[in-house]
Structure 1
Amino acid sequence: MTVVNDNPKAATGKPAYDHAGRTAIANRLLKGSSARSYDPVVELDWDAPLEEGKYFLPPKVLSLYGTPLWDQMSEEQRIELSRQEMANVLSVGIWFENLLNRALLIRLMREDPAAATSHYELTEMGDECRHMTMFGKVIERSGARPYMMRRWERWAMLAMPAFMRGTFMWVVTLVGEELFDALQREMRTDPQLQPLVARLMQIHVTEESRHIGFARDGIMRRKPVRGRFETLVAANLHGLGGPAFKRLFTNPQMYKRAGIANPRQAAKIARRNPNFHEVTVKSFEPLSAFLRQAGLMGPVGEYLWRKAGFLP
């Protein structure tokens, strides 16, 4: 079986790509998907009323938590801010899962359609389609509205799949998935959280763990065979995610919709908030450790993540 971009021809004496190991991982994940996959339309109780006084994201992860501005807010205003921040995060999640699906579709045009890896990628796309549906329905059920991309952001997202190949493909996948996954694992059991949101997180964590495992495995199996240029690109370009996520997570529109008088000032306060800095560092910590292990934390990538507040 030949898989384009995952099978660089090894010169004599150099290691070859481990197709057998990659196939075994794909088959294991296919079995796991068959055993534990969820349809959000039936798994979530869409008719249950929202619980009075519960947050849509735990207070401690909200961007203004611990600031003087937070202290001035009433409990109702804080809950409304949590609703808007949740809608913003889920909107960003929809964009990135859309990006991943389009990149996988392009990739599948170069791959063997009978391969187990292709079958798992198709399964992953199905998961992501259900996640986008779930995110959109939770936004609607919460009483919020989604946050839309600007025109230049849409163009950037349309162009990116053409460049997502080899190691860089899987690194971008992890950047889009692991930042959310690390926090969701803690937030899903928070007693202050709306049950509907908690259930969303439980489903998402379960299914994303397979996607993350597949991407990490793809990176590590390419490690012995990837070239210098591939490593240079993959180890540094992911740093652009730092300033992008910093801006997305402190979108002034959230504060405007939450009724804060000066939304741009609120965004500046959030970006300087040491409590929120701790949250962003924690969200990036597992991915940062993995990228270092894989030899993919280049100087430019590290500088950009640190400048954006995702590294201590």
Structure 2
Amino acid sequence: MRPPNTPPARAVSTTTADDSEFRTLLDRLSDKATADYYNPFTTFDWPSAIPTDALWMSPELLSFHGTELMDELSPAQLQALSRWESINFYSLNVHGIRELLIEVTRRVHTSGFEVPSEFFHHFIGEENDHMWFFATFCLKYAGKIYPDKSVKLPVAPRDPDIENFLVFARILIFEQIVDHYNVQLAADGRLHPTVRHINRLHHQDESRHIAFGCRLVQLLWERLLQDGLDETVRDELRNYLGLYVTTSIESFYNPAVYRDAGLPDGFALRRRLLAHPARQAAHAKVLHKTTGFLNRIGVFDARH
């Protein structure tokens, strides 16, 4: 990737035959963002505590779900695991949002991004709010944010158009994975109202971000194809994004979570869970929309 302060030599222009359609989408999403606007600093009535003898995450979303290990947990262990996996989930959001804010801010009002820059302002403002309320939840109710342990995938310096595509593809993948959890957590009546509230608000905003991201990623990919994307580079991009998907899913298996939940040998647990067939099926469910979209536009193929 190019150095952070180096402007792109040739950003992907969205001023194409699809410009009118893209503008219409952006206008609709911007109007919706304005209509749905809320002040996060006054929206939340943070309780002094959230009971620890209750679920903080839906059992169906836990990393143990579907395995024999889940059946071996006592009620207290299940509650502890749900508490710390929820904190891990919100910590992942804090770190993921920080990265996407850096990348989107770097591109707002730059050559080639004239059309989406107005919507970028909504996007940046909303994501900053999301990072704040996820971090607040972690610090207020757990006293910490889990550190970022994500694997930084090496990418050789390449054409700025390819870099732009990879940036927004990563953002879209991240948002779609998170939204799968948000939807279920927001609807789960077993969870504390504050947990449901933050997930409901996040899904409300992310539904717009995902609609925008799908269209932008498709436009960026189509431009790469129009410019004659080499088949070798095309395979590299597929492999890179496939690895990004894998590492994103694996970040939900945090040995520190298992330690905090009082479960011994977290690293061995992580290896055992990641290899479990039931967890592979769960991953496919989480990634259904992501892999379906990337297959549909031709980024992935039958091998992914």
Q: If the TM-score is normalised by the length of the shorter chain, which range does it land in?
A: 0.7 to 0.9
Distance 1:23 1:232, change over 3 A: farther
Distance 1:98 1:187, change over 3 A: same
Map 1:190-205 to 2 at 5 A. Answer: 190-205=188-203
1:19-77 CA distances to partner (integer Å, 9 max, x unpaired)?
Answer: 22222222221111100133333222202642464311111211123434333322122
Distance 1:37 1:275, change over 3 A: farther
Kindly indicate whether residue 98 of structure 2 is the aligned counterpart of residue 98 of structure 1: yes
Offset, 1:141: 3.0
Map 1:207-218 to 2 at 5 A. Answer: 207-218=205-216
1:106-163 CA distances to partner (integer Å, 9 max, x unpaired)?
Answer: 21262378x451111121011111101011111123325211025x857979x9xx89
TM-score with structure 1 length normalisation? 0.81
Offset, 1:299: 6.5
Kindly indicate whether residue 254 of structure 2 is the aligned counterpart of residue 255 of structure 1: no
- Are 1:64 and 1:273, in contact at CA under 8 Å, matched by a contact in 2? no
Match of 2:294 in 1: 291
Amino acid at match of 1:108: V
TM-score with structure 2 length normalisation? 0.83
Distance 1:63 1:169, change over 3 A: same
Amino acid at match of 2:13: N
Match of 1:6 in 2: 12
Match of 2:184 in 1: 186
Amino acid at match of 2:184: E
Kindly indicate whether residue 151 of structure 2 is the aligned counterpart of residue 146 of structure 1: no
For structure 2, which runs of at least 5 residues remain unmatched after alignment?
1-8
- Are 1:101 and 1:125, in contact at CA under 8 Å, matched by a contact in 2? yes
Kindly indicate whether residue 117 of structure 2 is the aligned counterpart of residue 118 of structure 1: yes
Offset, 1:292: 1.1
- Are 2:101 and 2:124, in contact at CA under 8 Å, matched by a contact in 1? yes
CA distance in 2, matches of 1:225, 1:112: 12
Kindly indicate whether residue 59 of structure 2 is the aligned counterpart of residue 71 of structure 1: no
Offset, 1:263: 1.3
1:80-110 CA distances to partner (integer Å, 9 max, x unpaired)?
Answer: 1111111111111111111111111221262
- Are 2:174 and 2:248, in contact at CA under 8 Å, matched by a contact in 1? no
- Are 2:11 and 2:112, in contact at CA under 8 Å, matched by a contact in 1? no
SS of equivalent residue, structure 1 residue 226: helix
SS of equivalent residue, structure 2 residue 224: coil
Amino acid at match of 1:168: L
1:237-287 CA distances to partner (integer Å, 9 max, x unpaired)?
Answer: 211223312431111111011111221222123213344333321110011
Amino acid at match of 1:245: S
1:186-211 CA distances to partner (integer Å, 9 max, x unpaired)?
Answer: 23211222221111110010000111
- Are 1:23 and 1:116, in contact at CA under 8 Å, matched by a contact in 2? yes
Greater displacement, 219-228 / 134-143: 219-228
Map 1:166-185 to 2 at 5 A. Answer: 166-185=164-183
CA distance in 2, matches of 1:284, 1:195: 27
Amino acid at match of 1:47: P
CA distance in 1, matches of 2:20, 2:59: 46
Percent sequence identity is 21
Amino acid at match of 1:169: V
Match of 1:310 in 2: none
Greater displacement, 257-266 / 225-234: 225-234
- Are 2:109 and 2:117, in contact at CA under 8 Å, matched by a contact in 1? no
CA distance in 1, matches of 2:153, 2:179: 26
Runs of 4+ in structure 1 displaced over 4 angstroms?
152-157, 229-234
Match of 1:87 in 2: 87
What RMSD in Å do the two structures reach over aligned CA positions?
A: 3.0
Distance 1:290 1:92, change over 3 A: same
CA distance in 2, matches of 1:277, 1:120: 36
Amino acid at match of 1:55: L
Amino acid at match of 2:50: L
- Are 1:270 and 1:276, in contact at CA under 8 Å, matched by a contact in 2? yes
Kindly indicate whether residue 31 of structure 2 is the aligned counterpart of residue 31 of structure 1: yes
Amino acid at match of 1:38: Y
Offset, 1:8: 8.2
Match of 1:305 in 2: none
- Are 1:127 and 1:207, in contact at CA under 8 Å, matched by a contact in 2? yes
- Are 2:186 and 2:197, in contact at CA under 8 Å, matched by a contact in 1? yes
